[in-house]
Structures are given as structure tokens and as C-alpha cells.
Structure 1
Amino acid sequence: MRAIVGLTVVICAATLYLYILSSYLPTGPRYPQKGKENGETSDTDQNKESDFTGEEQRLKFPSDLEDLRNLSELLHFYKTEHTGYILLLFCSAYLYKQAFAIPGSSFLNILAGALFGPWQGLVLACGLTTVGSTMCFLLSQAFGKHYITNLLPGKVSMLQRKVEENQSCLFFFLLFLRFFPMTPNWFLNMSAPIVNIPVTSFIFSVFIGLMPYNFICVQTGSMLSELSSLDELFSWTRVLQLLAMACAALLPGFLIRRYSQTHLKLDGPVPSGVARKTQ
């Protein structure tokens, strides 16, 4: 009972903080005035500015590409004069999703690329993924061990057995779990303290193991934010960028797969490719 009360207090406090942070946006920058030489704003600019003003109270986690596009435009609008605030808001929202194992972090990875660019976005996404997953690990360790074991006894027992069998190369086993779909990431984050995975191994396996996935999402967001039309997506430059992204993401998975065939003890055949992640 004490664990449920403690977890409820943490969730309520984090939710209240994020609600206040997203509800009281600072004054947005004035939309650039165009068209009239006498200094009056054109009807189009007034409409855009009023649209952004109307969106101020409707910040929400994106659930599809349309939500993602609208949110990206709104945050870009504020980022011109309130970079620190937008960075704080983005980090808080990302950590909230990761810490409480809420699906949909892939949209935030794409948003990181659109807002902060390919390389700053990648560093930010990898860092936040690691910190957020570690927060989930610690919350589970403090409040959730008993309940997770009772809710998912079969999965926890299987993971415990595989961790014990691969104790001699535990770090590479954890990397394998991040690359391939034996278990979703949210479950691994919550069950890791239950099966006695050391927190240091957990942290480094998250940072390294999810880097290819974060790289693809961030690069995708960066590319989409630069496109002015769909025709640009099929240019030779974009095609080569997509091929390079695919190679960069598949290479670590290929190396881990080769290593797992000779060193790791796994049930069934090893998957042949990098699977879609569930964060």
C-alpha cells in the first residue's frame, strides 16, 4: 500500500509540474510583418499570428504525424526568442514519457530532429532516453517490484532465467535486447531491477543500444523539417542520406547478432534485422 501511495504522489507531482510548464507559455515573438510598406500587418500574417495564439493553451503529446507537424511549427515559433524555455519543456515532456513508460517517445525523437537539428537532436535524444529509462528503473526499484512480478510473472521469470544464463556476458546480452524484439523496452526498463541487472550496465546498454534507433528518428525529423515539397524527398541527396541512415542503423545490429550466435544463450533463432522499438 505504501508503494502505491508513493508512486501516486510522484506521478501527480510530475503531472502537475508538466501541466503548469506547458500551460503558462511566455509571450511569443511577434510574427514577422510583411507586405505593406506603411507597417501594417497583412491579413495572412494576422491569421497566422492568431492561429499560434490560439494554440498556446493546446499543447499536447503528438499522437500522429499531423499533431507532430503542428507542434513542431508552434515550438519553432517560440524557439526564436525562448530557446531555454522550449528546451526545458521538451526535456521535461520526454523524461515524463520515459520515466512512466508511456508509449510514443518516437514522436519526440522526430521532434528533437526537427527542433534542434540532426546532431544536437541526437545527443539530446540519447541523453534523455538514458536518463528517462534510468528514472523508470529507479521508480520500479522503489515502488513496483512486487506489483510487476505479480502482473507479469511469466515474462519476469523468463527474463530472470536468461539474465542468469548470460551472466558472463551480461552487457552484450542487454545490448542484444535493445536491438532485437525479444522484449519491449518499457518492460525491460521496469523489470531490470527485479532481475538484478546492475544500474551501471543498464545505463550504458540503454545509451549505446538505443542510439541507432534514436539516430534514425532524429535524422527523419531533421529531414522532414527541411522539406518544402514531397518531390525533394526523392532527390538523389535525400536517397543517399536515407541509405546512409539505414547502413548506420543496421551495422551495430549485425555485429551484435554475430556475437550473439556464438556467445549468448537464447531461445529460438536470432532475429535477422533491427526491429521497430517500443519505448
Structure 2
Amino acid sequence: MWRRLPALLLLFAAATAALWALSARLGAGPAGRALRFPADAAELRDLAAALRDFQRHHRGAAVALFCAAYLYKQSFAIPGSGVLNVVAGALFGPWAALALCSALTAVGATLCYLLAGAFGKQLLVHYFPERVALLQRKVEENRSCLFFFLLFLRLFPMTPNWFLNISAPILNIPLSQFFFSVLIGLTPYNFICVQTGAILSELTSLDAIFSWDTVLKLFAMAVAALIPGVLIKKYSKKHLKLDDNKHALVLNSKKNS
């Protein structure tokens, strides 16, 4: 079970070193500002300004760093992609950022799927046998409409996205269905994040948050993000087998464990 662990750790170390090298190059760019994840709207604007400043001279490197950081987090199931979505909205604008983040989410989750299939199957079954068994049972019960079941899990997660990504190879989920379920199923979440980043990057003060223009934008954003969930939930009531409340609670109770 442990024979493939050194190879996985070596791959993680190599990816970390490559990301650090790109980050160091960008940090030394013409913006001349330290790079860090934003903690508030002011830091978000500063980070977006620093990246725009760098883009004027090294656009390819700036985009490469963002993509590398996103894929790094997704591939190794590291939290923080939501923050990168917000940064993308502030940096690239809402629609370009949505397309980019949705694509990176799907590609990164697929890399996580492949890494788990190559290195993590036995470890996952060893440490999470009950959760894997429950998901396996649910997948088999909904095999006839698997793609819509996967969409449902992304929009109304019974288990965290990272766990679904690493357990998918064990559940015999076809890679193509996995990829497109992530691409479509997480688009509403990405939409909310990038729109939030775009809005925050334009704010000049806290008072602007409560302006009618901002409130209407947030309301429209919430409605647009809810529509796919409503449609999938309506479909699930007729076609999916999701009435195992006890098991759903077991999964939800262990999300943060």
C-alpha cells in the first residue's frame, strides 16, 4: 500500500518547486509588490493591480502563474480555489474569468482523478472505507443516469468535492463523464466567485457595497446561479435514488474531518 507514496510525494515536491519558481519570477516583476492571497477588498484590488501591472510586460507569465497555481490546488486537493476564482474575476473580468476558471477546475479535477487512480486507491480505501462504500453504492444505484447524478453531487454535495475527485477512479466513473460533470456542475459556484471578484475590484469604499447598482448585481448573480440547481433538483426527484437521508447525514457530518 505504501510503495507508491514516495513517488507521489516526489511529484508533489516537484510541482511545488515549479510553482514557487513561477511565483518568485512574478514577485520580482515590474509591479514590485509582494504577492499573497487577499484578505479583504483592498488587498484584492492591490493584488489585481499588481498582476495587471505585470501583465503589461509579461502577460504570458502572469497567466501561466495563475493557471499553475489553480491546477496545483485542484490536482492535489488543496483548499483555496475559491479565492483564486475571486482573484480571476478581479483580474480578467467576469466572463473571461468564468471561462478560464471553469476550464481549470475541470482539468485540475481530472488531474486529481488520474493521480488518485495511479497512487491513491489503496490509501483511500484504507482510511475511508465507509465513505467509499457508501458512494459506491449510490453510484451503482444511479448508474443508468450517472451523469445527472454526478451533476447533482456537484450542485448539492453529499460529500466534499475533493473527496469525490479522489474517489472517482475507485467508483468506476468514466473519465469523460467525470470531466464534463465538473465542468458543468461547478460553473454556478465559479460564476458566483468570479462575479464577486469583479464587483469587489470596482469598489472604492465599503459604502459602495450597499449601492443599488451593487445590490442588483448581487441579486441577479444569485438568481442566475440558482437556476441550474433548481433544474437538476427537479430532475433528481423523478429519476435519481437519493432518499437515503441517514447515509447523506453520515457523509455531511464528516466533511471537515
- TM-score computed with the length of structure 2 as normaliser: 0.90
**After alignment, is 223-232 or 148-157 more displaced?**
223-232
Q: CA deviation at 1:53?
A: 2.9
Q: What is the match of residue 35 of structure 1? A: none
1:64 and 2:43 equivalent? no
Contact 1:68–1:107 (8 Å) recurs in 2: no
Q: What is the match of residue 175 of structure 1? A: 151
Q: What is the match of residue 257 of structure 1? A: 233
The percent identity for this pair of structures is 58
1:165 and 2:166 equivalent? no
Specify the code of the residue in structure 2 equivalent to 1:136.
C
Q: What is the match of residue 216 of structure 1? A: 192
1:230 and 2:231 equivalent? no
1:247 and 2:223 equivalent? yes
Mapped to 2, the partners of 1:69 and 1:106 lie a distance apart of 16
Mapped to 2, the partners of 1:93 and 1:234 lie a distance apart of 33
Q: CA deviation at 1:181?
A: 2.6
Residues 1:265 and 1:122: Cα distance change in structure 2 (over 3 Å): same
1:103 and 2:103 equivalent? no
- Count of residue pairs brought into register by the alignment: 247
- How far does the alpha carbon of each residue in 1:138-182 deviate from its partner, in whole angstroms, 9 at most, with x for none? 000000000011111110000000000000100000000000131
What are the ranges of 5 or more consecutive residues in structure 1 without an aligned counterpart?
30-51, 272-276
- How far does the alpha carbon of each residue in 1:86-106 deviate from its partner, in whole angstroms, 9 at most, with x for none? 100000000000000001110
Q: What is the match of residue 195 of structure 1? A: 171
Counterpart mapping for 1:1-279 below 5 A: 1-25=2-26, 28-29=29-30, 53=32, 55=34, 59-60=35-36, 62=37, 64-65=39-40, 68-266=44-242, 267-268=244-245
- How far does the alpha carbon of each residue in 1:48-103 deviate from its partner, in whole angstroms, 9 at most, with x for none? xxxx5362xxx34x273376454334323312322211100000000000000001
Residues 1:209 and 1:189: Cα distance change in structure 2 (over 3 Å): same
Q: What is the match of residue 251 of structure 2? A: none
Contact 1:216–1:249 (8 Å) recurs in 2: yes
Residues 1:68 and 1:54: Cα distance change in structure 2 (over 3 Å): closer
Q: CA deviation at 1:28?
A: 3.5
Residues 1:191 and 1:76: Cα distance change in structure 2 (over 3 Å): same
Specify the code of the residue in structure 2 equivalent to 1:268.
N
Mapped to 1, the partners of 2:203 and 2:216 lie a distance apart of 15
- TM-score computed with the length of structure 1 as normaliser: 0.83
Residues 1:144 and 1:259: Cα distance change in structure 2 (over 3 Å): same
What are the ranges of 5 or more consecutive residues in structure 2 without an aligned counterpart?
249-254
Contact 2:90–2:198 (8 Å) recurs in 1: yes
Contact 2:33–2:50 (8 Å) recurs in 1: no
